[in-house]
Amino acid sequence: MYGKAFAPEYQGDLGSALGVNSSYDEVLATALRARHEAGSALERARAALALAEANRRLGRSADARAAWHDSYRCAREAGDTAGMAWALWSGGTLARQCGALRLARRLLSAAVSCADAAGDRIAHGYALAGLAETGRIQGDYAAVADLHEQLLRQARAHGESRHMVWAMSGIAQMHRNTGDHATALELFTECVRIASEADDARGRAWSLRGMADVLSLRGATDRALGLLTRAEAVCREMELAGALAYNHKMRGNVLFRAGRYEEACAVYGMALREFEEMDEARGAALARLGLARSRFRCGRPQDESLAELTALEGEFDRIGLREARRTAASFRAELLAA
């Protein structure tokens, strides 16, 4: 059995005022008020952490960066090692979102150390989860598969639905990328069930996207698009800018696989603009690749497509996206054979 989802990143009085499904405009307003009224460095650190997370989710990278730095400084001033761990976790998560994966690893590793020193099991788990996700995004499955399983066992042991969904969806994604679509679909479906029962709207939206991806690979285009429409409604209701952009990128993938290339171009273009507005380098690079592939299928000249692909391959190498690099290599082979 799993309990209702909760948001440990909202601490102190903020933890009573906010929940896992609070909109990020609500989080922003509450945290700004709390920071203004803060009577101690500890209270300011907690308010700044919530500000960092709200701004990150809303795609405001510069504001998020300033806020997590402020949270870390205030937590250090207050002698709150656990608070320092949470700030470093927020900074590492932001770095991953912006495509700075080496920095993300450094910050998240530091967060693990601080959480361990403070004896904060939840902060420790979140930081480890961040490291695992960073490795998975890079395609380093051998290095993080055991860590995903470890986190899954911990989530089950403590009945933490939010981390259960996160760990299981990460494992599902690895199965999807290695070709075991049946297992991936089973795991993503279970994630949707757990997130729904735990009232974790964000987890449900991400899991629906995973289901849509696998169903699309199996040719169930209409069902995949329907799941993405459901997920998009959640993203808009909660103002999840990043999740919405990834939802649109996935819709482009589904349309591309169905041979609906002009529609895919339009959706990939929308996702690209959204990613660029929030300084989301990884998402922008993936959307550009989808757009390049779709434009080529719509008749774009081979030399123009090759030039853009070369630039994209450099970006994938810079960020460290192995799975995307493999997709780019397949596209290059297709271009050269045309």
DSSP 107-154: HHHHHHHHHHHHT-HHHHHHHHHHHHHHHHHHT-HHHHHHHHHHHHHH
pLDDT lower than 70: segments of the chain? 1-3
> How much is the pLDDT for 1?
55
For position 223, what pLDDT does the model report? 98
> Which tens digit of pLDDT belongs to each residue from 89-142?
999 999 998 889 999 999 999 999 999 999 999 999 889 889 988 988 887 887
Q: What is the mean pLDDT of the chain?
A: 92
Helix 161-177 and helix 121-138, axial crossing angle in degrees, nearest 10: 20
pTM of the full predicted structure?
A: 0.89
- Residue 140: predicted pLDDT: 80
Give the per-residue pLDDT at 129.
87
Distance in angstroms (rounded) separating the CA atoms of residues 93 and 283: 14
Q: Which residues neighbour 175 within 8 Å (Cβ) at sequence distance 6 or greater?
A: 181, 183, 184, 187
